[in-house]
Amino acid sequence: MTDTTETPATTRETTPESTTSTTADQASTVRVWPAMAFADVDTMLGWLRAVGFVEHVTHRDDEGTVVHAEWLWPGGGGIMFGAVRETSPLHEPGKAGTYLVTDDPDRVVAAALAAGGTLQRPVLEQDYGGREGCVLDPEGNHWSFGSYQPA
């Protein structure tokens, strides 16, 4: 059985007092959450926001370290992440790879580069359909942004 329900993404400004977003309905339909660990979470928060992710929830400890965060990709999907910690089972920084569907990969790749990413492959037409470009984030994780929607 295929679930074809689409929930529109909502956006909001995050303040220190408010880290839970109004995206609960969208988050409840996501069934795959790639998990990552970041050495410099605050830099990555800005990078993720610049490429189009929307904060759903961010939990910080008493020292202000992000211990768990869930951010959503408009149109579906999300990622979970936190700061590198000795007790974390998450991958080392710079070891993850993710493909994200977008209607405008040229715009998203440009935003990723402007926010400190490194171009791995420019946006090009793909043999299997759609356009796709690849960027490394400031910590070396591989992000592919493409218009190809897997069937």
Residue from 1, 55, 54, 3 nearest 29 by CA: 3
Tokens of 39: 């050495």
Instruction: Supply the mean pLDDT for the chain.
Output: 85
Assess whether pLDDT exceeds 80 at residue 1.
no
| DSSP percent split of the chain into helix, strand, coil, nearest 5 | 20, 35, 50
Summarize pLDDT for 111-150 with one digit per residue, the tens: 999 999 999 999 999 999 999 999 999 999 999 999 999 8
Give the phi and the psi of residue 29 in degrees, each rounded to 5.
Answer: -95, -10
Higher pLDDT, 73 or 10: 73
The secondary structure of residue 11, as a DSSP letter, is -
C-alpha span between 10 and 61 (Å, rounded): 26
Predicted structure pTM score = 0.80
Confidence at residue 87, expressed as pLDDT on a 0 to 100 scale? 79
Q: Which residues contact 113 (CB under 8 A, 6 or more apart)?
A: 119, 135
Summarize pLDDT for 16-42 with one digit per residue, the tens: 333 344 567 777 888 889 999 999 999
